[in-house]
Amino acid sequence: MARLELNDPSLIKSQAYLNGAWVGEPQDPILNPADGTPITSVPALSEVEAEAAVSAAYQALQPWAGQLAAVRAAALRRWLEQIRQHRDDLAKILTAEQGKPLAEASWEIDYAASFVEFYAEEALRIAGEILPSHLPKSRVMVTKNPIGVCAAITPWNFPAAMITRKCAPALAAGCTVVLKPAPETPLSALALAELADRAGLPQGAMNVITGPAEPIGRAWCDDPRVRLLGFTGSTEVGKLLMRQASQTVKKVTLELGGNAPFIVFADADLEAAVEGAIAAKFRNTGQTCICANRLFVHDSIHDRFVERLAERVNELVVGDGLDPETQQGPLINTAALDKVQKLLADAVAGGARVLTGGKPHPLGGTYFQPTVLDRVAPTMAITQQEIFGPVAPVIRFSSEAEVITQANDTPYGLAAYFYGRDLGQAFRVADRLEYGMVGINSTALGSVAVPFGGVKQSGIGREGSHHGIDEYLELKYLLVGGL
């Protein structure tokens, strides 16, 4: 493995962060997916510590919520400064535990920091309203108040950005947080907690608990003091948590799985569409919720498109993410590798053709060759499940109506993309795609400034933009009479 050299090695934590203290015995090893070597170990905490974290967050709630917005904003800005100061170390930690190339990890740290910056500012803009009253000599006021203690459960594919995308708006709104990162990638979350600690965030305002998901998730769902559960992960687990959270009627915000269509119309700029497909499919080794999962290409340009796509895919440099040349890292674990191989074998058995790739990479471990498949049918499992790997399945289509029907024929509704130059068609297709986000001649959907989220079984609620902070605020109406 390329060596993990940090300017500040104390950012690698082996304990969880509870009520402003580092707790627990290192127990579960965290492995570098590039070569399987252990980086460190973290505690396997239980429902006892999960409950203690809620108690700490509950105790910290009123003092934090009662602070001036400017005080909360200043604390977030100090956290931001710490994150920026340690950007390179945070990126290396992220690559070491997750596998993505260092350039992508550095992008993710900037993305993570952008949520802290944006919501530090947004804290100052939480305003209520005065509405026309229904009674004489009275006033009707509406205030926005922090929802309370928030629980956050996050996945391994964006181990830093998913932390700040939840914690920053929650803290800015005056909420306090208990968080469980994914077991594969807790080190980014713990390093961010260490930096929050250095920034002087009050004790108990943000707690990071590591350990088995089920008891921790259940403890938080069952606890009536937790008022919001924010989850990013698979649709299956999202549904389970939604059921569990219903017992205490919590608010849930869910950022779940996707099955993004990527449509190339006949009049598309072919080169731009190919580059878009590379970005939307192969980023993070195909392991993002908004990854293109099904490429629909119009008959008239299909052959030229797949030929050019295969050429570009062949140029991708696969390797250890810490190597600066690397453009595609390993998959997160062997289960991910097995899933990709199974979906691919099923597609090939059903008549799909491998244009390039198609096999585990000679580097071994969990590396897989970037792959392009054509002759794919929309009935194949590879087009119905999230592949979460570097395989681009291409399906031919001949009419707009046909491709819209196929694109919408999935329980998911997170992101969709299309390339084409006809403006009338662009708005028509955008209107008809049942997705929370649509990239038109662009794939760069991720930004702090936009409302990120899905419809159908891809989620509830939005993260990012001014809409993102509203999830953490509750309206209260005051009627003032006798004036």
Half-sphere exposure of 316 (CA within 13 A, CB side): 35
- 255 is an active site residue: yes
- Whether the CB-CB separation of 45 and 210 falls below 8 Å is answered with yes
Q: Determine if 386 is a binding residue for ligand NAP (CB under 6 A).
A: yes
Strand 459-460 with 260-264, pairing: unpaired
Min dist. Cβ of residue 230 to ligand NAP (A): 11
Tell me the DSSP string of 108-170.
HHHHHHHHHHHHHHHGGG---EEE--SSTT-EEEEEEEE--EEEEE--SSSTTHHHHHHHHHH
Min dist. Cβ of residue 227 to ligand NAP (A): 17
Q: Determine if 25 is a binding residue for ligand NAP (CB under 6 A).
A: no
Q: How far apart are CA 273 and CA 288, in angstroms?
A: 19
- Whether the CB-CB separation of 73 and 120 falls below 8 Å is answered with yes
* Of 289, 291, 386, 471, catalytic: 289
Q: Determine if 403 is a binding residue for ligand NAP (CB under 6 A).
A: no
Q: Determine if 282 is a binding residue for ligand NAP (CB under 6 A).
A: no
- 122 is an active site residue: no
The residue assigned the tokens 């629909």 is: 296
The nearer residue to ligand NAP, 109 or 199, going by C-beta atoms, is: 109
Q: How far apart are CA 80 and CA 82, in angstroms?
A: 5
Q: Determine if 234 is a binding residue for ligand NAP (CB under 6 A).
A: yes
Residues in CB range of 27: below 8 A, 6 or more apart = 41, 42, 43, 44
- With CB under 6 A as the contact rule, the residue among 52, 182, 313, 404 that binds ligand NAP is 182
- With CB under 6 A as the contact rule, the residue among 119, 156, 265, 419 that binds ligand NAP is 156
* Phi/psi of residue 182, nearest 5 degrees: -65, 150
Min dist. Cβ of residue 182 to ligand NAP (A): 4
The interface mask with ligand NAP, positions 409-448, x = CB under 6 A, is: -----x----------------------------------
Q: What is the DSSP letter of 295?
A: E
Length of the chain: 483
The nearer residue to ligand NAP, 84 or 218, going by C-beta atoms, is: 218
Min dist. Cβ of residue 22 to ligand NAP (A): 20
Q: Which residues are catalytic?
A: 255, 289
**Using CB under 6 A as the criterion, which residues of the chain lie in contact with ligand NAP when the complex forms?**
153, 155-158, 180, 182-183, 213-214, 217, 232-234, 237, 240-241, 255-258, 289, 386, 414, 454, 459
